[in-house]
């Protein structure tokens, strides 16, 4: 049995950036939804796969590139139950705070990038907790709380195949690039938690890792072992942390810190990644957003140590 079919959401018009995963069995589940701005591509792929009914819509967390079209899909598939972390569930019922928070990052591009988010009726939501198993009949998905990227994040282990759908817990790894890039958005990014989540994934020993950004990690150009992928994700988190720390000692203006980080990343990737591939990575999580997440994290640490 194939673990899942990869659906390319073509987020923001880019192929191979953000995926959703279709699991077929006694019940049918979609893991991740993509943003509402990509809903037509997702619906087209579901029709191409002859999906007439979805039993489950499962989101690893509530960020707009992962859960933005959950409400829209739930209206299209009225039998579906939406599974989400308990911290994220209220924000799918009333997405106003979620939308407002994202607006602080994306500003006047919100509608262009995300096209809104439809609220979900509370009775369509199933709150998921760490260690819970979502039973699809002949397939089972184990929820693994993996915080750090966000405070409402699960990875899901499909037990029969050993495939783990990691959401953003391992950051970004795009096909044919094979470079780990952190995903560290404000306001919730926590470095220690993110590293602990990577260690937990590694210790669980899945057979394969499928990232929302994008797809199976053992594609050509990427490491073929779970251990390598996890180690490189952790190394990337620590490397970016050191670059942001250095930038904070050299500059007061956050924009200057971003520029210093850009320089360090370019030096690190020189000769390994094309300019076109750097642009693809930037379309998933920007220098500015990643740096802002680290800056807020370090600010919190300093405030805590001085209190």
Q: List pLDDT tens digits, range 280-289.
A: 887 788 899 9
List of domains in the chain: 5-306 (3.60.15.10)
- Per-residue pLDDT averaged across 92-107, rounded? 92
Confidence of residue 219 (pLDDT cuts 50, 70, 90): low
At 279 the pLDDT is 78
Place of tokens 């020993």: 205
Say whether pLDDT at 221 is over 60.
no
Smallest CA-to-CA distance from 150 within 304, 305, 297, 301 is with: 297
Give me the DSSP letters along 253-273: SHHHHHHHHHHHHHHHHTTTS
Residue 160's pLDDT band (boundaries 50, 70, 90)?
very high
Q: Does residue 90 surpass a pLDDT of 60?
A: yes
Q: Is the pTM of this model over 0.85?
A: yes
Is residue 103's pLDDT more than 80? yes
Q: Write down the mean pLDDT value for the chain.
A: 93
Q: How many CA atoms lie within 13 A of 221 on its CB side?
A: 12
Greater model confidence, 25 or 149? 149
Q: How confident is the model at residue 270 (pLDDT cuts 50, 70, 90)?
A: confident
pLDDT of residue 1: 56
| Residue-level pLDDT at 261 | 94
pLDDT of residue 223: 62
pLDDT on residue 177? 81
Whether residue 274 has pLDDT greater than 90: no
More confidently predicted of 33 and 219: 33
Question: Which phi and psi (to 5°) does residue 64 adopt?
Answer: -65, -30
Q: Is the pLDDT of residue 82 over 60?
A: yes
Cβ(19)–Cβ(215) below 8 Å: yes
CB 216 within 8 A of CB 158: no
Work out the average pLDDT over 198-206: 97
The count of C-alpha atoms lying within 13 angstroms of the C-alpha of 44, restricted to the half-sphere facing its C-beta, is 7
User: For residue 277, what pLDDT is reported?
Assistant: 80
Above 90 in pLDDT, residue 218?
A: no
Instruction: Give mean pLDDT, residues 194-206.
Output: 97
- Among candidates 290, 286, 288, 281, which has minimal Cα distance to 17? 281
Who wins on pLDDT, 294 or 3? 294
Cα distance between residue 263 and residue 301, in whole Å:
25
Q: Provide the percentage of residues in the chain whose pLDDT is more than 90.
A: 80
């Amino acid at each position: 049995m194939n673990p899942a079919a990869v659906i390319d959401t073509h987020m923001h018009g880019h192929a191979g950036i953000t995926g959703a995963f279709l699991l077929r069995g006694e019940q049918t589940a979609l893991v991740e939804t993509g943003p509402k701005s990509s809903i037509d591509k997702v619906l087209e792929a579901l029709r191409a796969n002859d999906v007439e009914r979805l039993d489950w819509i499962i989101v690893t967390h509530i960020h707009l590139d992962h859960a933005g079209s959950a409400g829209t899909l739930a209206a299209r598939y009225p039998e579906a139950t939406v599974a989400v972390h308990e911290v994220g569930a209220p924000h799918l019922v009333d997405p106003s705070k979620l939308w407002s928070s994202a607006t602080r990052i994306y500003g006047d591009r919100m509608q262009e990038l995300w096209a809104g988010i439809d609220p979900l009726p509370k009775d369509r939501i199933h709150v998921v907790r760490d260690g819970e198993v979502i039973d699809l009949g002949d397939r089972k998905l184990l929820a693994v709380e993996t915080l750090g990227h966000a405070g409402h994040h699960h990875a899901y282990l499909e037990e029969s195949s050993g495939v783990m759908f990691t959401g953003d817990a391992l950051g970004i790894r795009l096909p044919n690039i094979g470079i780990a890039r952190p995903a560290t958005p404000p306001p919730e990014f926590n470095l220690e938690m993110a590293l602990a989540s990577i260690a937990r994934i590694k210790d669980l020993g899945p057979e394969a890792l499928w990232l929302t950004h994008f797809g199976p990690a053992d594609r050509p150009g990427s490491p073929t072992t779970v251990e390598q992928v996890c180690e490189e994700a952790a190394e990337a988190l620590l490397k970016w942390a050191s670059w942001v720390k250095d930038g904070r000692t050299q500059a007061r203006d956050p924009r200057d810190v971003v520029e210093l980080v850009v320089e360090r990343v370019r030096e690190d990737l020189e000769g390994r990644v094309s300019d076109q591939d750097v642009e693809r990575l930037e379309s998933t999580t920007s220098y500015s957003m990643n740096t802002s997440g680290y800056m807020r994290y370090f600010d919190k640490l300093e405030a805590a140590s001085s209190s």
